Structure 1
Amino acid sequence: MKQVEFENIKDKLKNFRFNSMEYYDYDQLKNYEVNVNSEDLFIAVGYDEENKIKKFHWAANNWTELVEAVQKEKNPILITFVPEEWKDNFISAGLKEYAIFREYWISDISKAHQESCEYSLIENVEIDIAAQVTMECRGQSRGFHGESPEWVRSWIDGTLGGLVNAKDMSILVHRENDEVVGIVCVAVYGHKSEKGSILWVRELAVTPRVQGKGIGRSLLKQALTYGVEHGARRAFLMADECNYNAKKLYESIGFVPSKEEVQIDMVYEVAKQNI
């Protein structure tokens, strides 16, 4: 997809009832190919490296045309940002839940952040082991499959696609015997918001052999310290609805689940449908 094509598509999104591209920029979609581009349906097809599956980015006015396009595919297809009012129709058509992510917020970091916590930033020589920590946590949450060393480096460098307005991107680490066993990715965005800039917490991961020791809680508190020091007034993260342990931890720190904002991701597993 060429950038001029992407810009034209983004301009057309207002003409559709729903779409999956609201929060994406060109760098994230440049390797996608436009498959359908009509007044009622847009589909760009690509490969989701993070989830290792073919993926549709889409815009549609009704669910039937989108589902019909999915069912024509010969490979499993990931569909993200499915409208909640379409979910039952998608299930009836043979799609299944992949993950349901809910937003969690701290509206005032100063109230949740009672005391400053020392934190340690990742070093370049630790990029590979940090990626390995995330890979060891695959399957602990739906939709989480770990990250590559390239992804970790791009986060640190601030070059990860889709984060144009994010600043102060870094990774905090927990070490035991000089070895990284836990990480949390942090960034600050929304600097022009009237409610104040936002600390984004992402990819909290602790290697399984040391889980249950409070490392995740410690990293979250360190993340809040990082946010305060970098001017954030609020904090944000997302959690899968089935990741009960994580949700309990987040709420104990002060994160509050949104009652409205939810991201429904669904998958059409072709092989199983044809049995």
Structure 2
Amino acid sequence: MNNDQFERIIDMAKDKKYSSLNYVDFEDLSDAMIVVDEAEVKLLLDRSKEPNEIYYAADDLKYTLDVIKEHSIIGLIKFIPLEAIPLFEQHGFDIHCIFQDYILRDLDQLTGLKSQAIEMQFASIEDAKALAKLSQACKGMSRGFYGETEEWFIEWLAENKVLVHRIDGEIVGFCCISIYSDGEVLWIRELAVSPKFQGRGIGRNLLKAGLSYGHIQGAKKGFLAVDTENANAIHLYKQFGFVAKENEFEVQLINK
């Protein structure tokens, strides 16, 4: 897909009731092909991802599913309304994962962020390969997590931060963080610990360091998304004051 096609598709998708194209940029879709380009529905397929990823924009989900079947489109589709799961299951899709948004409404309430000296180690671009290796080692430990590539970390580090925990010089845990909404919100994008070093409190310390960093930078709130079946992560986040946002889900479904 070229940039002109991207701009046209995104512009038309803005008027659709349902869409997975609201949070993408050209780089996300540069390898995607346009499969269906009708007034009623837009369907794109990216075979460069694992698994294949389907992007869509439509007003009628039943018609969209009929078109997917007609064109034998196979892959992962995101940002499906929770109430539409039964309809998709009737058409051969299964639940891949369901992410729920969690919010920490007041970083100031975490008094420990002020009273404790919290160690922070930040990754550099040179760490991108090691970060990707660790991320890939955690693949499948939570639904919907495939690990990130070296290129992903290079792009992330160009504008954001990655906190790391090292043992004997080796990165054994990381926490990807970003601050958005005019500096108001800290985003915990990704938290991972090597399978060999889990159960030692490394994830907890990284999360605490991430929250402390956000607080120092002036962020007022914290945000993250976690799979609804990732009980260990949810337990950790709740201990720090994160609460689930009702009816704020990202449903991902897959057909094969």
TM-score by length of 1: 0.86
State the Cα deviation string for residues 133-170 of structure 1 (Å, max 9, x = none).
Answer: 11111111011011111211111113xxxxxxxxxx11
User: 2:151 matched to which residue of 1?
Assistant: 150
User: 2:23 matched to which residue of 1?
Assistant: 23
SS in 2 for 1:15: coil
Contact in 2 for aligned 1:53/1:76 (Cα 8 Å): no
| Alpha-carbon distance in 1 for matches of 2:128, 2:27 | 23
The one of 212, 216, 231 equivalent to 2:218 is: 231
The one of 224, 230, 234 equivalent to 1:247 is: 234
User: 1:41 matched to which residue of 2?
Assistant: 41
The one of 148, 155, 161 equivalent to 1:170 is: 161
Alignment of 1:202-213 (within 5 A): 202-213=189-200
1:182 maps onto 2:180 in alignment: no
User: 1:115 matched to which residue of 2?
Assistant: 113
Contact in 1 for aligned 2:104/2:222 (Cα 8 Å): yes
Contact in 1 for aligned 2:137/2:147 (Cα 8 Å): yes
| Alpha-carbon distance in 1 for matches of 2:48, 2:220 | 33
Residue segments in structure 2 that go unaligned for 5+ positions in a row: none
Alignment of 1:55-204 (within 5 A): 55-72=53-70, 74=72, 76-112=74-110, 114-116=112-114, 117-158=118-159, 169-191=160-182, 197-204=184-191
**C-alpha RMSD of matched pairs (Å):** 1.7
| Alpha-carbon distance in 2 for matches of 1:73, 1:183 | 41
State the Cα deviation string for residues 177-213 of structure 1 (Å, max 9, x = none).
Answer: 221110000111111xxxx621111220000111011
Q: Name the amino acid aligned to 1:202.
A: R
TM-score by length of 2: 0.92
Contact in 2 for aligned 1:70/1:77 (Cα 8 Å): no
Q: Name the amino acid aligned to 1:263.
A: E
User: 1:272 matched to which residue of 2?
Assistant: none
Contact in 1 for aligned 2:14/2:22 (Cα 8 Å): no
SS in 2 for 1:80: strand
| Alpha-carbon distance in 2 for matches of 1:113, 1:126 | 32
| Alpha-carbon distance in 2 for matches of 1:76, 1:24 | 20
SS in 2 for 1:181: strand
Residue segments in structure 1 that go unaligned for 5+ positions in a row: 159-168, 270-275
Q: Aligned-pair distance for 1:48?
A: 5.4
Amino-acid identity (%): 32
| Alpha-carbon distance in 2 for matches of 1:41, 1:127 | 38
Contact in 2 for aligned 1:197/1:231 (Cα 8 Å): yes
Contact in 2 for aligned 1:134/1:205 (Cα 8 Å): yes
| Alpha-carbon distance in 2 for matches of 1:93, 1:81 | 17
Q: Name the amino acid aligned to 1:133.
A: L
Q: Aligned-pair distance for 1:7?
A: 2.3
